[in-house]
Amino acid sequence: MMTQTHLVIAAALLAKPGAPARNRAAIAGALLPDLSIFVLFGWAVATGIPQETLWRETYWTEPWQTLGAISNSAPLWGLLALSLRALTGTWLSVTTVLPLAALTHITGDFPLHNSDAHQHVWPVSDWRFHSPVSYWERDHFAGIVAPLEAILGAGLSIVLIRRFQSIWVRVVLASLVLAYLAVPVFFVLSLST
């Protein structure tokens, strides 16, 4: 699943008007499982690693695999959520929302990764669920999944636009709706020429 979809899902489930710290925690939690990939990408750009080498080779080496396992570990995020829940007495405090958002990210990724499946139960096991469905691999139904993800992302963005009155939040969300719509429109137009 694309990172922006993880953000929109976490915001739809956990963000609320008038709670900026909680909302930032939801966004941060939704981003953290992908943080190692962003760092890897930035490092590759800075060091001149070609994109093909990055995703076919470098991504699969250490320390990147261990960092990805840590950031995508349901047991670690779950333990953190349970611990913070015990400390705060609520599931929806600023501190508990962060691991809950990370868990929503992991839950969304689990059924949508094939060749690039994460180690979602690390450190309990190195096992990876190689789903028959992928959000990006054409051989694994990405032609169906990607448009459905775009519909979900655009729809939840519209829900959030209605929920939040802040103009800058609405501008960001409207930009997401346009981005979700622009990709399919681009492919339809490029196929027709």
∠ Cα 75 76 81 (to 5°) = 95
Residue 65 phi/psi, 5-degree rounding, is -70, -40
Two tokens, residue 168: 């800058």
The predicted model gives 156-161 an average pLDDT of: 93
Percentage of the chain exceeding pLDDT 70: 94
Gap between the Cα atoms of 63 and 40, Å rounded: 10
Q: Which of 51, 53, 12, 56 is nearest to 30 (CA)?
A: 12
Residue 8 phi/psi, 5-degree rounding, is -65, -40
Query: What pTM value is reported for the model?
Result: 0.89
pLDDT for position 90: 84
Gap between the Cα atoms of 69 and 147, Å rounded: 28
CA distances from 13 to 26, 80, 97, 110, 193 (A): 9, 19, 10, 18, 40
Two tokens, residue 179: 């981005």
Percentage of the chain exceeding pLDDT 90: 74
Mean pLDDT, the chain, whole residue set: 91
For residue 182, name the pLDDT band (cuts at 50, 70, 90): confident
For residue 192, name the pLDDT band (cuts at 50, 70, 90): low
For residue 46, name the pLDDT band (cuts at 50, 70, 90): very high
The predicted model gives 168-189 an average pLDDT of: 78
Q: Which of 4-13, 29-38, 141-150 is the least confident region?
A: 141-150
Q: What count of Cα atoms within 13 Å lies in the side-chain half-sphere of residue 99? A: 18
Amino acid, res. 156 = L
Residue 74 phi/psi, 5-degree rounding, is -60, -40
Gap between the Cα atoms of 100 and 181, Å rounded: 28
